[in-house]
């Protein structure tokens, strides 16, 4: 990948250097949720949802309010997202779509394991089993797959693997474990924390919530009344045009068109799932406190991708709108200021070099993300001038740091443009692409999209009318 600007190249030269390591090694806990969009945390402005423990991390640390995933080349966006998190590499620098992580792409837990850390994981791993075995020396309640389907026990009795010292993690060794998925993963994490630790540790807790099936357990199933849920400003019964994925699995979970009742029901169960996983995050934080581990533990909280849940007539994440591309991201622990926000444009694959730097380790040369240390230390530090999004060979997008956004679609030979001024239209309601008064802005954004597509080695050629698809 070529860096989008000289500024970022220079920034990486300085920011990717390891910080001075303290005499007491830093433990690391990474908490990763599934399909949680950026605006689902009470402390960051959502006055409906109840998330006291995510709020706690925001207050005790620093939150990046414009963190993004880059998208993906198939409907399961969590696959490339998790590969980007683990490798610190952007979308088109992964192997294929990220389903497998090759040995020459050093993973974050691998770096810590090589540095003498005990590495432990619980929860979802949507990449290959061989990479999981390389990364983690211990595990419990491991789920290899995308979702807890109702036919396989759902969230209530998921099919899970125990730790396999051979690294095989065979499909036939899965066992149905009674208990809600988030609770089981928190149980495994807490059990690990209570073990004697002669070495520092890296703990990865990868929740499968709030991914569907959205079946929050008691009492969370009663916390949000569908009838009183407020619809988002960008609610519509149908998407205004064919984006190429209107009948993908996520979009077939409920009837078309999306009635107001459907949207409210989906939001209510979605919020219930988020409040439930928040409670399990709280149990893990409480265990760290009780064991006097917080003072030397870095906690990273993030989501893999967002979700539409009724916005723009959509339910899923197979689109490039803000609700699907932006994710929560917070750091709390030693070396991190308290109760501060950063609004610079960042990516999920920036997490790896940032965690390494905070722990005093040097990120491996395979990492292409940028350490966020400069932004953690200085709110005025220069950030990226733009972020890039891609979905299959159907959609491409760019958002600039002055809050303009362009999404282009190439579906069955038809090009559609959407231009949004996010400063005045954060919900992406008013498409300005056909307004002659914004022709110059559209031209500039299209040029930016073409350039950033080249910078990230996009296999499509956006300079061609058909993007080179035919």
CATH of the domain at 451: 3.30.1120.10
Same domain, 148 and 224: yes
CA distances from 212 to 99, 235, 243, 273, 288 (A): 20, 20, 22, 9, 29
What pLDDT, on a 0 to 100 scale, did the predictor assign at position 219?
98
What pLDDT, on a 0 to 100 scale, did the predictor assign at position 195?
96
CATH code of the domain covering residue 123: 3.40.720.10
| Domain stops at, among 351, 377, 403 | 377
Q: For residue 376, give the nearest of 329, 341, 345, 402 by alpha carbon.
A: 341
**Is 62 within 8 Å of 327 (Cβ atoms)?**
no
Same domain, 356 and 451: no
Residue-range definition of the domain harbouring residue 427: 393-455
Same domain, 399 and 327: no
Two structure tokens written together for 440 = 């110059």
Number of domains in the chain: 2
Residue 385 lies in a domain: no
Same domain, 77 and 108: yes
Residue 49: exposure state from Cβ atoms within 10 A (0-12, 13-18, ≥19)? buried
What pLDDT, on a 0 to 100 scale, did the predictor assign at position 23?
60
Q: Round to whole Å and give the CA distance between 141 and 184.
A: 7
Q: Round to whole Å and give the CA distance between 11 and 346.
A: 13
What pLDDT, on a 0 to 100 scale, did the predictor assign at position 227?
96
| Domain stops at, among 319, 347, 377 | 377
Residue 1 lies in a domain: no
What pLDDT, on a 0 to 100 scale, did the predictor assign at position 24?
81
Q: Round to whole Å and give the CA distance between 408 and 430.
A: 15
Same domain, 312 and 450: no
Same domain, 71 and 181: yes
Same domain, 59 and 170: yes
Same domain, 275 and 409: no
| Domain stops at, among 377, 407, 441 | 377
Task: Give every residue of the chain whose pLDDT is below 70, as ranges.
Answer: 1-23
Mark residue 156 as left, alpha or beta (left: phi above 0; alpha: psi -120 to 50; beta: remaining). alpha
Q: Round to whole Å and give the CA distance between 438 and 443.
A: 9
What pLDDT, on a 0 to 100 scale, did the predictor assign at position 18?
39
């Amino acid at each position: 990948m070529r860096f989008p600007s000289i500024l970022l190249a220079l920034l990486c030269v300085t920011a990717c250097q390891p910080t001075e390591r303290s005499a007491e090694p830093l433990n690391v806990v990474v908490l990763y949720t599934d399909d949680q969009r950026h605006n689902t945390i009470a402390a960051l402005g959502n006055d409906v949802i109840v998330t006291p423990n995510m709020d706690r991390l925001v207050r005790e640390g620093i939150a990046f309010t414009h963190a993004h995933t880059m998208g993906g080349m198939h409907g399961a966006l969590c696959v490339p997202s998790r590969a980007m998190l683990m490798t610190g590499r952007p979308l088109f620098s992964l192997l294929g779509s990220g389903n497998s992580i090759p040995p020459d792409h050093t993973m974050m837990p691998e770096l810590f394991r090589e540095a003498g850390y005990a590495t432990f994981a619980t929860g979802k791993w949507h990449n290959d089993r061989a990479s999981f075995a390389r990364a983690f020396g211990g595990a419990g309640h491991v789920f290899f797959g995308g979702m807890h389907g109702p036919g396989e026990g759902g969230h209530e009795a998921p099919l899970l693997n125990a730790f396999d010292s051979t690294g095989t993690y065979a499909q036939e060794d899965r066992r149905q474990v009674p208990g809600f998925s988030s609770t089981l993963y928190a149980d495994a994490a807490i059990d690990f924390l209570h073990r004697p630790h002669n070495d520092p540790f890296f703990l990865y807790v990868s929740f499968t919530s709030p991914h569907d099936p959205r079946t929050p357990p008691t009492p969370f199933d009663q916390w949000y009344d569908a009838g009183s849920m407020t619809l988002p400003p960008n609610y519509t019964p149908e998407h205004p045009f064919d984006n190429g994925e209107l009948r993908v699995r996520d979009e077939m979970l409920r009837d078309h068109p999306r009635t107001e009742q459907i949207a409210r029901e989906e939001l209510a169960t979605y919020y219930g799932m988020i409040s439930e996983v928040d409670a399990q995050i709280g149990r893990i934080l409480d265990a760290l406190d009780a064991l006097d581990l917080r003072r030397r533990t870095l906690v990273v909280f993030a989501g893999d991708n967002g979700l539409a849940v009724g916005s723009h007539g959509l339910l899923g994440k197979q689109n490039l709108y803000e609700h699907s591309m932006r994710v929560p991201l917070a750091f709390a622990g030693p070396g991190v200021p308290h109760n501060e926000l950063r609004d610079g444009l960042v990516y999920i694959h920036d997490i790896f070099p940032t965690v390494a730097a905070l722990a005093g380790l040097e990120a491996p040369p395979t990492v292409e993300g940028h350490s966020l240390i400069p932004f953690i230390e200085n709110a005025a530090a220069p950030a990226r001038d733009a972020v890039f999004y891609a979905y299959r060979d159907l959609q491409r997008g760019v958002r600039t740091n002055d809050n303009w956004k362009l999404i282009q679609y190439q579906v069955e030979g038809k090009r559609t443009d959407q231009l949004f001024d996010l400063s005045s239209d954060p919900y992406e309601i008013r498409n300005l692409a056909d307004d002659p008064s914004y022709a110059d802005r559209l031209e500039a954004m299209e040029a930016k999209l073409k350039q950033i597509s080249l910078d990230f080695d996009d296999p499509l050629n956006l300079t061609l009318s058909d993007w080179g698809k035919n």
